[in-house]
Amino acid sequence: MLDADFFRRWMTAAAAAVDREADRLTELDSPIGDADHGSNLKRGFTAVREVVEAEAPETPGAVLTLAGRQLISKVGGASGPLYGTLLRRTGKALGDAAEVSQPELAEALRAGVAAVAQLGGAAAGDKTMLDALIPAADALDESFDVARAAAEKGALATTPMQARKGRASYLGERSIGHQDPGATSSALLIAALAEVAGG
């Protein structure tokens, strides 16, 4: 079973991964965006780490809803509200249980991913974070490592896609041939989850 401490460690590991990879995320956002994805997420997840440590929410659902609210208030641009919605909606789906099972987390994450799709109007294949998140949430029924692999594969698969949502879509066919920054950061988020589950 996964308790609040597990979810706090997930957010801390996600913040560390975003710190480590911020330059790469910004580099990916320069040919098909405005070169701010790394700095956006770094600001957001630094705030998440701080608030989660300071307030130490006592349930898995409370950790994720607090983290989501923080992302929405601290990150401008498309990705703040989208990632904020992902975590908030996933947290809400977990309810107020003190511990949740892996299948319960998988189901809650699918509710979070569906809320992202609804908010942003994107679907699989549109070259967004959903291309990593949808396969990861589906694979999480199997294992954390399978989910991590699915997210990484999903992020790589965005390269040949033409963007149909977000800033990259303004480039039309010129968005083809570049990996999507948001799908890449989503793969980091899932990798942080697998890391915490494995260690």
Site string for ligand ADP, 35-74 (x = CB under 6 A): -xx--x----------------------------------
- Which residue, 153 or 165, is less far from ligand ADP as judged by CB? 165
Spatial CB neighbours of 105, under 8 Å, sequence gap ≥ 6: 2, 60, 90, 94, 140
What are the backbone angles phi and psi of residue 19, rounded to the nearest 5°?
-55, -50
182 binds, among Mg ion, ligand ADP, none (CB under 5 to 8 A by kind): ligand ADP
Check binding of 29 to Mg ion (CB under 5 A).
yes
How far does the chain reach from its first CA to its final CA, in angstroms? 14
Distance of CA 68 to the CA centre of its chain: 10
CB 88 within 8 A of CB 66: no
Nearest distance in Å: CB 149, ligand ADP: 19
**Side-chain half-sphere CA neighbours of 38 within 13 A:** 15
- Which residue, 116 or 140, is less far from ligand ADP as judged by CB? 116
List interacting residues with ligand ADP (CB under 6 A): 29, 33-34, 36-37, 40, 77-79, 82, 116, 120-122, 128-130, 165-167, 180-183
